[in-house]
Amino acid sequence: MLQNEPPRADPQHHPIAFIPLSVPDAIHPNETGGRTAGAFFLDLIESSGLAPQDKDVLIVSSKVASFFEPDCVVRLADVVPSRKARLLGRLFGRDPRKIQLVLEQGNVFLVIPMKRIIRIPSMRRMLEERSANPEAMRKGYEELNNYTLVVRNHAAYLDEAGIDHTNSPDEFVTLLPCDPCRSAQTIRDEIRERAGAEVAVILSDTITCVGRMGSQDIAIGYAGIDPITRATFSDDLFGIPRSGGIDLVIDSIAGMAGLIMGQTTERRPAVLLRGLDYAPERDAEAPGMAAVEMPSGSEWRIAVYTVLATLRYRLGSLLAFQPNPRRPANRR
């Protein structure tokens, strides 16, 4: 190829597009009666001037998918808090009805004291710089979101068990689907039956990123797509086996789609991904999110082994009687 000659197109590589699917108005849970999630999202694709194609990936907001699930949209007035929820409500200054809903979703793994964290000067300054309304942010963390309960579910650590208190009518909250992978499969099956296309489906939800200030979407359910790559300890470009290669495909897709869907007033409940050559879901795989979850009983052992290895490192560093050495600057 000549130096100034434009590169030739590779017929094996096609552009990849994330296409937002929008609704004209906010979706009200009462408006979804008599419809299915599959019909809703298929109509949404077609109203955008598109037709589903084989190998498309439909990424949908778990919140909107919940609107079509039984018992996933709850009126707070109908929630009767247990004695435990009432006690915890008093201890943490929280609505006991909301705590009751969290307890029903699973065991609380951590409690994050946002009320205390916001009082750290450096944290307060950072959050104020990143807030559209610093005064509302301060009040929110002091009163409404003073403590965040984290629940382990769907192979993820979910703030408030994934319960959504925003973008819902007053006195309503939205729970995650009980089985997000089954929900994704149901949507996939209906699109296949109505449109004749083999479309993979991912349900996404937002989590806080550990060690970083911010959040992003991850997958909490999927159907029709292999959730991971399987190339660990394959050879790299230099023929050396590498330890990586188990990429969370569904989380990477959900993260990009979540950026497009937005978190507030965008009215984009789904995104259609077109052009990605992904591997199909494996029939012999562990069911649902177990395919990406740590094996049962392994996490506590990993934690213990990690603590012991870290202590060994600290001891070795102490015995060296030397701060972290630095390489000398290159001299020319």
DSSP string covering 281-325: PPTTSPSGGGGTSPPTTHHHHHHHHHHHHHHHHHHHHHHHT-PPP
* Residue 3 confidence (pLDDT) above 60: no
Residue 212 has what pLDDT? 83
How far is CA 42 from each of CA 46, 48, 69, 93, 325, rounded to the nearest angstrom? 6, 10, 17, 43, 59
pLDDT at 25: 79
Name the average pLDDT for the chain.
89
Q: DSSP secondary-structure letter at 152?
A: E
CB 202 within 8 A of CB 222: yes
- Phi then psi for residue 136, to 5 deg, are -65, -35
Kindly state the average pLDDT of the residues 169-183: 89
CA proximity to 18, closest of 240, 254, 188, 241: 254
229-240: average pLDDT:
87
pLDDT value at residue 169 = 65
| Range 104-112 average pLDDT | 93
Asked if residue 190 has pLDDT above 90, the reply is: yes
Give the model confidence (pLDDT) of 153-171 as tens digits.
998 999 999 998 776 666 7
Q: What is the pTM of this model?
A: 0.88
**Residue at 4: amino acid letter:** N
Q: What is the structure's pLDDT at 244?
A: 82
Angle between helices 96-105 and 83-92 (to 10 degrees): 120
Q: Tell me, what's the pLDDT at 32?
A: 72
Torsion from C-alpha of 57, 58, 63, 68, nearest 10 degrees = -130
Tell me the pLDDT band of 179, cut-offs 50, 70 and 90: very high
Quickly state the pLDDT bin for 8 (edges 50, 70, 90): very low
**Confidence at 283, pLDDT banded by 50, 70, 90:** confident
Tell me what pLDDT residue 35 has.
85
pLDDT surpassing 60 at residue 173:
yes
Least confident of 1-10, 67-76, 218-227: 1-10
Mean pLDDT for the stretch of residues 301-307: 94
Q: What is the mean pLDDT of residues 38-42?
A: 95
Our CA dihedral for 91, 94, 95, 97, rounded to 10 degrees, sits at -70
Q: Could you tell me which residue, 251 or 241, shows the higher pLDDT?
A: 251
The larger pLDDT score, comparing residue 253 to residue 167, is at 253
Q: Which residue has the higher pLDDT, 246 or 265?
A: 246
Q: Which domains does the chain have, with CATH numbers?
A: 17-301 (3.30.1330.100)
Number of other residues whose CB lies within 10 A of the CB of residue 194: 14
